[in-house]
Structure 1
Amino acid sequence: MLSLRQLSIFTACLLGAYGAHAASDTANLTVKVTITATCNIHSVSPTDVDFGSIQSTAIDTDAAGALSVNCTPGTDYTIGLDGGENFSGGERRMAKGTDYVAYELYRDAGRSQVWGNDLAGSLAGTGSGSAQTIPVYGRIASANSPAGDYTDVVIATVTY
């Protein structure tokens, strides 16, 4: 007959023998993500195109503002600007009641490329993954209007 001590040693040996013959198996775990392209043009407020205070006799008065666009790296985009709330007769206009001051917005500092909302008038770019500053150049050809404060609101749209 086995003593309690001998039985304990025998059991430990049996368990050790089974542990030495343990088996294993493997499986592949796939980790996935789908990144979708996105562009944001409203998280940073635009800088106004502010012509300041000018005389009614002023001509070719220039000012500049800016938009900020943040697109997924490598994502192509275009930015278009509509005609503004007071657009009429093919021109952008700032309003004070029923009085208007015509102006134009451009994609280039030389003010030769009118900024529009169609393919020919939009600005193309490629996303970098961080905010990109996009200048907006403005010009009032003639300020020959009644004195007062004039404003307009233009909608900028990014398409990607």
Structure 2
Amino acid sequence: MPTLTRLSGASLLFAAAIMAPEAASACTTATTNTNLGSFSSYTIASTPQQGSGLAGLQCDILLAALTTHYIGLRVEASTFRLTGPTGQTIPYTASLTSGGTPLAVGNVLDLSSLSLVSLLSGTNNSVPIYFRTSAAAGLRAGTYSGFIDLRWYYSVCSLGVAVCLAYSSSPGFVRPLIGPATVWGTGVPVRVNVQLTVQNDCIITAPNVAFGSAPLAGAFNPVTRTILIRCSAGAVYTVGLDDGNNALSGVRRMRSGTNYLRYELYKTATSADRWGAVGAARRSSASADTNAGIYDSTTTQGYSYRAAILPGQITPPAGSYSDTIRIDVTF
């Protein structure tokens, strides 16, 4: 009989699981800081300042552009004032568009109907926020700070191209099957910090000095003038006068071509003390001839001085002699 050989076969099962990639978070939130810049106290007093920053929500808008995205915002708290080191304040408004409707505490905004491209137009697909200050006078120098507390709600596709496979949502958000969202959940709080720096500044009025004409250097009469200075609130300062463009060995000189006429400037109308730019030669705001020691940004200090052609010098050739003196104020 023929021998039958039974063949036993073993099957090898080849299996492969295709795993859906883990969904990345399409939206993130973070505290942000906006610096509106540094300005003179007189600029702040006369001109509103504007600037922009980020409102604390950033989303990846390249995914599943055809799906429905939900984004909402609630304004939790803000004084809408920047407060300085002495308690003075600068009012400001904030909006989500430049020149748009100002945000107010308690505002609840459903931003879902807006184009994501326009809504997330800030840096790295973030929601921008715009600030505008109101004019505020009499401010002392320093950093003025404020904040806005916002709460963001969102449900944005985090995986997909035409059809969304996964969503990134804020806590408690329930996506509706169709139509507007009704259960927004608790959202995510963020703080937007805002600051602006006020700098000391002064407004200076300095009339020119004209000695007139004379045949001899010793025939010119002294001239008295007054420099008016008004500085930022609280700004104690000193005032200096430099040596001009033609000084020689610490003596001021006016020039006509290659010829010179020596002169000097003295503190007050009767003082023999030279008014200069260094150390004790400067004048203190506490020693102003008028309104000394008043630092309220609106009161002007007056500094009288005497300008005189120096006697004893050889009369130079006839001509029109001139020089330029620079005034400096140091806080």
TM-score (norm 1): 0.71
Closer, same or farther: CA 147–76 of 1 in aligned 2, 3 Å:
same
> Matches of residues 68-107 of structure 1 in structure 2 within 5 Å?
68-107=228-267
Instruction: Give the CA deviation at 1:68.
Output: 2.2
How many correspondences in the alignment? Answer: 132
Identity %: 30
Closer, same or farther: CA 52–111 of 1 in aligned 2, 3 Å:
farther
Aligned to 1:5: none
Deviates more, 1:122-131 or 1:102-111: 122-131
1:156 maps onto 2:327 in alignment: yes
Instruction: Give the CA deviation at 1:51.
Output: 1.1
Instruction: Measure, in 2, the Cα distance between the counterparts of 1:139 and 1:29.
Output: 60
> Matches of residues 26-105 of structure 1 in structure 2 within 5 Å?
30=79, 31-34=81-84, 35-36=140-141, 38-42=200-204, 44=205, 46-59=206-219, 61-105=221-265
Closer, same or farther: CA 111–140 of 1 in aligned 2, 3 Å:
farther
1:129 maps onto 2:289 in alignment: no
Closer, same or farther: CA 62–39 of 1 in aligned 2, 3 Å:
same
SS at the partner of 2:248?
coil
Q: Is the 8 A contact 2:242 2:327 kept in 1?
A: yes
Instruction: Give the CA deviation at 1:29.
Output: 6.0
Deviates more, 1:100-109 or 1:57-66: 57-66
**Moved >6 Å (runs of 4+):** none
SS at the partner of 1:133?
strand
> Matches of residues 4-23 of structure 1 in structure 2 within 5 Å?
none
More strand by share: 2
* Structure 1 letter corresponding to 2:297: G
Closer, same or farther: CA 47–70 of 1 in aligned 2, 3 Å:
same
Closer, same or farther: CA 53–64 of 1 in aligned 2, 3 Å:
same
* Structure 1 letter corresponding to 2:307: G
**Higher RCO structure (Cα 8 Å, ≥6 apart):** 1
- 1:125-149 deviation per Cα after TM superposition (whole angstroms, max 9, x unaligned): 0434223332232111237221111
Instruction: Give the CA deviation at 1:79.
Output: 0.5
SS at the partner of 1:61?
coil
Closer, same or farther: CA 49–111 of 1 in aligned 2, 3 Å:
farther
More helix by share: 1
Q: Is the 8 A contact 2:246 2:255 kept in 1?
A: yes
* Structure 1 letter corresponding to 2:325: V
TM-score (norm 2): 0.36
Closer, same or farther: CA 101–128 of 1 in aligned 2, 3 Å:
farther
Aligned to 1:113: 273
- 1:17-52 deviation per Cα after TM superposition (whole angstroms, max 9, x unaligned): xxxxxxxxxx9965542231623144x3x1012211
Q: Is the 8 A contact 2:217 2:309 kept in 1?
A: no
